[in-house]
Structure 1
Amino acid sequence: MWPIARLTIKEIIYKRVFLVISLMSLALLIFYGIGTYYAQGQIANMNRGPMGGLAQGFMSTQFYGMGLYFAAFITSLLAIFSSVGSISKEIESRQIDPMMARPISRASFVMGRFVGLSLLMVSYSIFLFLGITAVNQFLGNQLKVVVSMSQVLQAGSLFVLQSIIIVAVALFFSTRWSTLNSGIVLIMLYVTSMLGGFIEQLGGITQIKQMLNFGIVTSLLFPIDTLFRTMVISLFESADDPISMATQGIFGSTSAPSKWMLVYIGLYGVMALWFAIRSFQKRDL
């Protein structure tokens, strides 16, 4: 398993997509830092008047949430593009034949791919999460969001978990479909999850049951947006607090996901990996 994991990490690092997304991440941090630096200078004018504190709180959480949202988007793209072809591309090119000729089981091969991809994504996610947080804390000034170390650790763990779930699902698709089909389906699931999250929050505000139900269904189908909003709640402590929710805007949540939902997400990832192993074991090479 570990030789496959090391090989997987080397393969991803040498791919062009890794370089492109790394440059995108660097650009995000630079432009986010510049935007934060200049925006915080304008926030001082908002502190005047009775609504000054609320306006500052709103802008602070919006800037921080916006940075994390785009960081999660870039991280998810890397997880998708690096994972969807990790098995299917090897099968299509027949490069998997010499690997399977070695004394290694198919389950170990899939686990090696998963471990390698997960280690890479965990490192990348931590870097990007801490980068956005550092910009907010050290350049934010008026836009700085006061967070404790426990909040950062909890939110960071949820941020990292997003990419691990995507890797597990991508491996399952990669054992069954071509690289192109797997990528299309996974991107559609990701977009649907994000869209469903926004619709669910609007449904919670407007009390439209159909919108709430749509969001719940999409969160069960692909719970990435639920993880993101749980992360936001853990950072801003906004659950069931209407004032905090008002300052949080589009990145907030009208209510915190239950612990059972978090258990479901954990089982979701485990089952996706298990199905990937079972699917690869039954596939004709």
Structure 2
Amino acid sequence: MWTIAKLTWREILSKRIFHITLFMSFAFLLFYAIATYIAAQEATEQTGGQAVSSDFFLAQTFFATQILGVGLYFAAFVTALLAILSSVGSIAGEIESHQIDTLLARPLHRRTIVLGKFAGLGSLLILYSICLFLGVLAINQWLGGEILRFEMSALQVIKALAVFVLPPLLLIAVALLFSSITTTINGGIILIILYGISFIGGFVEQMGVLMNKTSMINIGIISSLLFPLDSLFRKMTVYLFDTAGDPISFATQGLFGSLSTPSNAMLVYAALYGITALWLSIRRFSSRDV
């Protein structure tokens, strides 16, 4: 399995899409750093660097968390796209090009091939996710000044990071399932649509909580059950923006926060979702005639 994982690493690192993603990730971090610095300077000049009232403090906290939230949201988006593009053709693409014949000719169980690809892709995406998450966080803390800098403990960061790396693993597991069932293009389209449904449903649910509309909340819950990607992002923001004694504070609200807290059961559901998808991909690939 680890040999397949090493080969998967080499394959992904040699692809142009990975090089482009690294370059664009650096460009994103640079742009985010410039925008954060300018926003902090403008806010400091307008307020004189002092919070004059409790209302201003709440507004400042809200603004700070939203600046950090939008950076993490785009980081999650880039990570998800890299996970989809790098894994959706990992089996189907090799079947179409007959490159997988060299692996199947060896005394390897097909389960080993699927698990090896998952281990290789997963470890690479975890490393990429950690770097991107810490990069956004470091930029916000170093360049945000007193206005945009958000006070958080090491435990908050660790808990948020642990949840942040789960979506790419979930995407890889589901992508391997689609890759063992259908072609690369079809699997990619289905996965991107599921990704879109998840985040649109999440935004609808946030609006439903704000407007107290049960039907809109139910739409978000159904989309989370269909594909629990947005729930993981919302759970990450709750962990990151959590404050002692006030888990759902004003600071966690907004477009890139969470007006409703995903339960811990959703984390278990997401884990079982990914494990089931990986198990089905092994079953499907093992019985597939290539």
**Cα deviation digits, residues 161-181 of structure 1 (max 9, x gap):** 111000000000000010000
Query: How far apart are the structure 2 equivalents of 1:28 and 1:283?
Result: 41
Say whether 1:80 aligns with 2:80: no
Pick from 248, 251, 264: which aligns with 1:241?
248
Q: Which residue of 1 aligns with 2:70?
A: 66
Match of 1:21 in 2: 21
2:280 aligns with 275
Task: Tell me the distance in 2 between the aligned counterparts of 1:251 and 1:11.
Answer: 34
Q: Among the aligned pairs, what percent are the same residue?
A: 51
- Aligned equivalents of 2:239 and 2:231: distance in 1? 12
Q: How does 1:147-162 map to 2 (within 5 A)?
A: 147-162=152-167
Residues 69-108 of structure 1 aligned to structure 2 (within 5 Å)? 69-108=73-112
Could you tell me how far 1:95 is from its partner in structure 2?
0.9
Q: Which of 251, 254, 260 matches 2:259?
A: 254
3-state SS of the aligned residue for 1:251?
A: coil
Task: State the 1:193 CA deviation.
Answer: 0.6
Opposite residue 67 of structure 1, the aligned amino acid is: G
Asked if 2 retains the 8 angstrom alpha-carbon contact of 1:107 and 1:277, the reply is yes
Does 1:194 pair with 2:199?
A: yes
Partner of 2:30: 30
* Structure 1 runs (4+) greater than 6 angstroms displaced: none
Contact kept? 1:59, 1:143, Cα under 8 Å? yes
Structure 1 contact 5–112 (Cα < 8 Å) conserved = yes
Q: Tell me which moved more, 235-244 or 225-234.
A: 235-244
CA contact (8 A) 1:80 1:166 kept: yes
Contact 1:106–1:280, Cα closer than 8 Å, also in 2: yes
Over the aligned positions, Cα root-mean-square deviation in angstroms equals 1.3
**1:240 and 1:254 in contact (8 A); partners too:** no
Q: Structure 1 residue 259: deviation in Å?
A: 1.7
Q: Distance in 1 between matches of 2:26 and 2:250?
A: 34
Q: Distance in 1 between the 2:248 and 2:199 partners?
A: 23
Deviation at residue 205 of structure 1 after TM alignment = 1.1
The match for 1:171 among 176, 179, 184 is 176
**C-alpha contact 1:240 1:255 (8 A) present in aligned 2:** no
Q: Is the 8 A contact 2:92 2:183 kept in 1?
A: yes
Q: Answer yes or no: is the 8 Å Cα contact 1:86–1:171 preserved in 2.
A: yes
Unmatched segments (≥5 aa) in structure 2: none
SS of aligned partner of 1:250: coil
Q: Retained in 2: the 8 A contact 1:37–1:139? A: yes
Shift of 1:269: 0.8
Q: Work out which of the residue numbers 139, 145, 156 in structure 2 matches 1:135.
A: 139
CA–CA separation in structure 1 for the residues paired with 2:185 and 2:92: 9
1:39 and 2:43 aligned: no
Q: TM-score, normalised by structure 2?
A: 0.95
SS in structure 2 of the partner of residue 103 of structure 1: coil
Distance 1:52 1:206 in 2: 24
Match of 1:213 among 204, 218, 222: 218
Post-superposition offset of 1:49:
4.6
Q: C-alpha separation between the residues in 1 aligned to 2:97 and 2:250? A: 56
Secondary structure of the residue that 2:261 maps to in structure 1? Answer: coil
